[in-house]
Chain A
């Protein structure tokens, strides 16, 4: 399953309050195709990002990542351009739920964020919640997922969780 893998990629490091308007500007929201959205991911914050990001790369940012709008297009855009996970000091509430629901791995770890610079090679073990910065050789432990989120991940995502509940209900 998606969450039980080891990911490797380069870091793209940003500051605090990376909002959903810069993750995917509203002018593109008439599409909900991840690949199409991915072409414009982060373009108002870092116009070069979408053309230079490589599959597996990781977005690393400070507090309140994903603040603002409820658009699920934001985690879809990140996935669509190949981002393998987001590491942040903290996440805005709706983005956090949306990322889990669409299967974009997210890790909360202020210590790792403080250690990481753009371009650093990183290794993330989603099962153990560890983040390794291969440049500095330091390894960090992210905040474990709360029970609510673990239930959904263990069910294989929210869509699968609801599918099971509907099946149980119709028996």
Chain B
């Protein structure tokens, strides 16, 4: 019996020939990251462990992105604590405001994760980096502190669910629609404790940005990790980013899968997840008349250049509906710079969008764009739980950037074809 890509990466980092699902391993870590919400607890646990130095200051990343630029004094104190720790430990990949982006956009952009790596992050969307053919998973602060102290983490080898996407995508349908559709099919615990392996001809045609979006939301199905194979799209994307050698692993033809899902997505419409679960998914054409107060485009899910391009294509030369607040928050400074040089920022501002610095703030109702009671948002983010973006009586509808931009123009949830 062969091995899956996930099993091979885990075996490599555990220093063994082969691992099987269910097995307990201690694995070497290539990168261990935290943000301004999770780092303070990790630093506290690190001290309690009696640790003095991190295992390798080049393999730790610290990113103040959740409540930064600081929302209030408490947030500023957390950022300051993280900054002091970074200095004390000589952390190479500490990103100050002005350089920092949304962690799961910035970390791959900076080439910190490469194929074959094993990454743990004290943020549930750390699973994003599986798009690069790496094993990457979210952990809590104490687990992360263990990785900082010892350079290793304990893991149970997950069973793998394989998802094969066939057919040809229609216009305006992208990675977000594929992953929402998948979560809608299997449920928010449909991949609990499992690896999700994404494959098939449709996936091979996807850009890296679309793959990041899909891997990002593996956690929304309860998964431990989401993963793609390395191909020419990956290799091309890594040019100019990868500054060290990397290993390409791939699943054997006789690898063992717990289950294989095959989806023909040729007829797939843009998807929308209704409140209050990411699995509460419908095609946009079946959502009905839903007026919105706010549209949010950005985040670690859909804050990349391709997402911004989709939004720009729909919004250029148009106006945001007078009832709607459109908030665009790109994932990194580099993306904002690129949007400026291509003239996209100007078009978006003229359309009536407000441009936010790269921060997680609006996605989790932290700061900037918090919803009042009774308000409704369409958002390209990843969670639509009760109270996720603000008041417990507010509502979040999840969608890709095309539906979000069309919705911003029409003031109600709309198919991109209605405006494009």
- B is a partner of A: yes
* Distance from A168 Cβ to chain B, minimum over Cβ atoms (Å): 11
Q: Is the CB of B124 within 8 A of A21?
A: no
In the complex, the chain B residue whose C-beta lies closest to that of A17 is B188
Determine the chain B residues whose CB is within 8 A of the CB of A63 once the complex forms.
Answer: 189
Judging by beta carbons under 8 Å apart, are A94 and B142 in contact?
A: no
Docked CA distance A21–B277 (Å): 12
User: Can you name the residue of chain A whose Cβ is closest to the Cβ of B156?
Assistant: A148
B163 contacts partner chain A, Cβ-Cβ < 8 Å: no
Asked if B24 CB lies within 8 Å of chain A CBs, one says yes
Q: Could you say which residues of chain A place their CB within 8 Å of the CB of B122?
A: 70, 72
Docked complex: B22-49 residues within 8 A CB-CB of A:
24, 37-38, 40-41, 44-45, 48-49
Query: Do residues A26 and B364 form an inter-chain contact, with CB atoms below 8 A?
Result: yes
Closest to B221 in A: A67
Q: Is the CB of B71 within 8 A of A163?
A: no
Contact assessment for A159 and B142 in the assembled complex, using a CB-CB cutoff below 8 Å? yes
Q: Tell me the smallest distance from the CB of A36 to a CB of chain B, in Å.
A: 10
Mark each residue of chain A from 130 to 171: 1 if its CB lies under 8 Å from any CB of chain B, else 0.
Answer: 000000000000000011100000000011011101110000
Chain B residues positioned under 8 Å from A29 (CB to CB)? 37, 66-67, 366
Please name the residue on chain B nearest to A101 by beta carbon: B142
Residue in B222, B277, B370 whose CB lies within 8 Å of A92: B222
Residues of the A chain whose Cβ atoms lie less than 8 Å from the Cβ of B121: 70
A45 and B386 contact, CB distance less than 8 A:
yes
Is B246 an interface residue when CB atoms closer than 8 A count as contact?
no
Write the chain A residue with the least CB distance to B388: A21
Bound complex: CA A2 to CA B404 (Å): 49
B365 contacts chain A at the CB level, 8 A cutoff: yes
Decide if B142 touches A32 in the complex (CB within 8 Å). no
Question: Given A44-B392, A70-B123, A102-B140, 16 other A-B contacts at CB below 8 A?
Answer: A21-B387, A27-B365, A29-B66, A29-B366, A30-B37, A30-B67, A30-B72, A31-B74, A69-B124, A71-B140, A93-B224, A98-B143, A158-B45, A158-B146, A162-B51, A163-B50
Cβ-closest 8 pairs across A and B: A30-B74, A44-B387, A98-B140, A26-B364, A101-B142, A44-B392, A72-B140, A64-B189
